[in-house]
């Protein structure tokens, strides 16, 4: 099967930002209007191919992209002598991303108790925003980003017992083109195992162990390896109408909640 999807979305600027005015209520942060602001347009498309059958092999491919015209951005200039920051909204062009991905699932074994899955995604994105340095007027700033992600998992099911091995990796390259920020490459790796073991018809043990590895980030606190182990024991009563559960969350006390983003000003 071949699928095609196209979407166009319009976003209008705030009417207040389009009025020709000067807001100096805060003398150190002056805001101006811009009567020439235009609506921003986001164009998105997806072309995908997928096999639908009862065979052991399932395969799909996808080609996708997004383009943003007249993106709304806030730009400002900073007066080094007075400390006054003067800014207004602008339209910025040049934001887009494009990518291709594929996924494959393969069942094997006498009764398909084994399943092997693979996913690959390659993406290139160009982000543009406004940047002001050393008191200059806001100027366009560009950051190019390229990422490659792959994941692989193997699962095994026998009766009420389930086991799964998984591994994934992501390579990210960020390259600021018009600022003094150095380009850098970051890498994320994840591998783990998940298991569900039915000891009896009523007693079940579930556990998962995952290793998170991050390398290449400018902040040393991100370049760490975390070992995360969770577990659960459950027991059913009253013919399955009542369940007693004991959870062990982050048993090794090694979990870190990590989020990062690189914007068009090359800030992480």
pLDDT of res. 55: 78
State how far the Cα of 33 lies from the Cα of 205, in Å rounded to an integer.
62
The larger pLDDT score, comparing residue 193 to residue 110, is at 193
For range 157-174, the mean pLDDT:
94
pLDDT > 90? residue 96: yes
User: pLDDT confidence of 196, banded at 50, 70, 90?
Assistant: very high
> Do 17 and 34 contact (CB within 8 A), yes or no?
yes
User: pLDDT confidence of 134, banded at 50, 70, 90?
Assistant: low
pLDDT of res. 266: 64
Q: What is the DSSP letter of 17?
A: G
State how far the Cα of 75 lies from the Cα of 252, in Å rounded to an integer.
46
State how far the Cα of 10 lies from the Cα of 64, in Å rounded to an integer.
19
76 SS3 class: strand
pLDDT > 70? residue 138: yes
pLDDT of res. 135: 67
| Percent of residues, the chain, with pLDDT higher than 90 | 60
pLDDT of res. 153: 96
pLDDT of res. 151: 97
- Whole-number average pLDDT of the chain: 90
State how far the Cα of 77 lies from the Cα of 138, in Å rounded to an integer.
6
By mean pLDDT, which of 88-102, 128-142, 215-229, 234-248 is the weakest?
128-142
194: number of CA atoms within 13 Å, CB side? 10
User: pLDDT confidence of 265, banded at 50, 70, 90?
Assistant: low
Calculate Rg over the CA atoms of the chain. Answer: 26
Q: How far apart are the first and last CA of the chain?
A: 40
State how far the Cα of 68 lies from the Cα of 83, in Å rounded to an integer.
34
Residues contacting residue 57 through CB under 8 Å, at least 6 positions apart: 51, 104, 105, 106, 107
For range 146-161, the mean pLDDT:
94
pLDDT > 90? residue 12: yes
Q: Are strands 29-32 and 85-92 parallel, antiparallel or unpaired?
A: parallel
For range 231-258, the mean pLDDT:
89
The larger pLDDT score, comparing residue 207 to residue 138, is at 207
User: pLDDT confidence of 248, banded at 50, 70, 90?
Assistant: very high
pLDDT of res. 254: 87
What does pTM read for this prediction? Answer: 0.81
Residues contacting residue 248 through CB under 8 Å, at least 6 positions apart: 229, 230, 231, 232
């Amino acid at each position: 099967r071949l699928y095609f999807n196209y979407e166009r979305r319009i976003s209008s600027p705030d009417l207040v930002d389009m009025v020709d005015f000067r807001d100096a209520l805060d003398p150190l942060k002056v805001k101006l209007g811009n009567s020439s602001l235009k609506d921003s347009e986001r164009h998105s498309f997806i072309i995908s191919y997928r096999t639908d059958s009862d065979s052991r092999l399932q395969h799909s491919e996808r080609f996708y992209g997004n383009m943003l015209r007249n993106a709304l951005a806030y730009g400002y200039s900073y007066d080094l002598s007075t400390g006054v920051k003067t800014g207004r909204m602008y339209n910025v062009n040049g934001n887009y991303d494009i990518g291709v991905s594929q996924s494959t699932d393969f069942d094997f074994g006498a009764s398909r108790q084994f399943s092997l899955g693979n996913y690959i995604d390659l993406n290139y994105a160009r982000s543009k925003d406004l940047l002001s340095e050393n008191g200059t007027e806001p100027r366009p700033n560009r950051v190019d980003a390229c990422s490659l992600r792959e994941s692989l998992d193997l699962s095994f099911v026998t009766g009420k017992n389930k086991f799964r091995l998984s591994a994934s990796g992501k390579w990210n390259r960020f390259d600021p083109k018009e600022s003094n920020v150095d380009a850098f490459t970051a890498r994320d790796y994840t591998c783990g195992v998940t298991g569900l073991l039915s000891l009896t018809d009523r007693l079940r043990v579930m556990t998962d162990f995952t290793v998170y590895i991050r390398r290449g980030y400018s902040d040393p606190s991100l370049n760490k390896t975390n070992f995360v182990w969770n577990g659960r024991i459950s027991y059913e009563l009253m013919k399955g109408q009542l369940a007693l559960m004991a959870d062990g969350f982050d048993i090794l006390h090694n979990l870190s909640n990590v989020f990062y983003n690189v914007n068009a000003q090359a800030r992480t």
